[in-house]
Amino acid sequence: MGAKNRLPNAYSIEQLNRIFEAVDRPKVAIAACLSFFCGLRIEEVCRLRVENIDLENRRIKVVDSKNTNRSVTGYGKDRYIPLPNKVISPLRKWLEIIGGDCQWFLPSCTSPDDHMRKKSLYEQFAVTLHRANLRIPDFNYMETKGKNKGKAKNKYKYFFHTLRHSYATYLLGKGVDIYTISTLMGHNQVTTTQIYARVNGQQQRRAVEDAFDGPLMTFKPNYQQHFSEPQPREDLERLRLEVEKAKYEIEKIKLCREQIIIQNNT
């Protein structure tokens, strides 16, 4: 399966709880918190400056971020992202911990004047996933460049970027429209965001339930739906008989099970 055909994975709420219970590094915990609640990419978290966190107006400014036209414009893209109430208190506490003189949200341990490296955060979060029993191999692939070219490697089902996928999937499941989500995530085109509509099983399930909630419509041989035609009585009667037949079969199964239980006990 090609990369373009693969659907992104997303964490369930139960899995997110396991991750935050397993994390043992405060820096990794606050980074994961911000990525899930704001949909930030890993490099956006690492390069976030304290001055761009506005707790009073409950928003953060992402500066010079990913841009497919960067080679032309020489600059990335800026965007504002609202901060949910749930993340305000952890952010305020973290800013107290790192101190007012720190310019980076995630200062480097080896060089306080620099930000945490993306590779370091990626690897430390992978340790957290292992502790949460979520370090799950997904498929194998061959490295195509670099010193490991031609070497077989594992691609894992979950990683740090899955927090961003989960942000989009969660918002979609809560009824946020796809255009708002696209803007929040900084996508150039809404078609990029539409992949999450394929991931969100809750929305798909709701659509199917709504479609079949009510009388069944008649389908003609040309497959055109005639919404104005009333449901024929014979079709409804046939459906009722099928339901009754199913109930009868279920009762037969129950009786057989009871007979088996009685015989085994005697």
CATH code of the domain in which 133 resides? 1.10.443.10
DSSP character string of the chain: --GGGPPPP---HHHHHHHHHH---HHHHHHHHHHHHH---HHHHHT-BGGGEETTTTEEEEEEE--TTHHHHSS-EEEEEEPPHHHHHHHHHHHHHH-TT--BSSB-SS-TTSBPPHHHHHHHHHHHHHHTT---EEEEEE--SSTTTT-EEEEES--TTHHHHHHHHHHHHTT--HHHHHHHHT-SSHHHHTHHHHH-HHHHHHHHHHHTSSPPPPB-TT--B-TTSPPPHHHHHHHHHHHHHHHHHHHHHHHHHHHHHHHHH-
Residues 52 and 111 in one domain: yes
Residue 206 lies in a domain: no
Residue 92 lies in a domain: yes
pLDDT at position 225 is 46
Residues 21 and 131 in one domain: yes
pLDDT at position 114 is 94
Residue 2 lies in a domain: no
Q: Give the count of domains, the chain.
A: 2
Residue 59 lies in a domain: yes
In the sheet with 59-65, reading across from the earlier edge strand, the strands are 53-54, 59-65, 77-82
CB-based burial label for 153 (10 Å; 0-12, 13-18, 19+): exposed
Residue 209 lies in a domain: no
Residues 225 and 143 in one domain: no
pLDDT at position 187 is 80
User: Residue 158 is part of which domain span?
Assistant: 9-201
Residues 124 and 231 in one domain: no
Residues 112 and 185 in one domain: yes
φ, ψ at 215 (rounded to 5°): -60, 140
Residues 142 and 246 in one domain: no
pTM: 0.69
pLDDT at position 223 is 44
Residue 186 lies in a domain: yes
Q: What are the 10-residue block averages of pLDDT along the chain, 266 residues in total?
A: 66 93 94 94 95 95 78 77 92 92 92 91 97 90 77 87 91 85 82 70 60 55 47 60 67 62 53
Residues 97 and 224 in one domain: no
Residues 193 and 220 in one domain: no
Residues 44 and 128 in one domain: yes
Residues 29 and 148 in one domain: yes
Residue 108 lies in a domain: yes
pLDDT at position 209 is 64
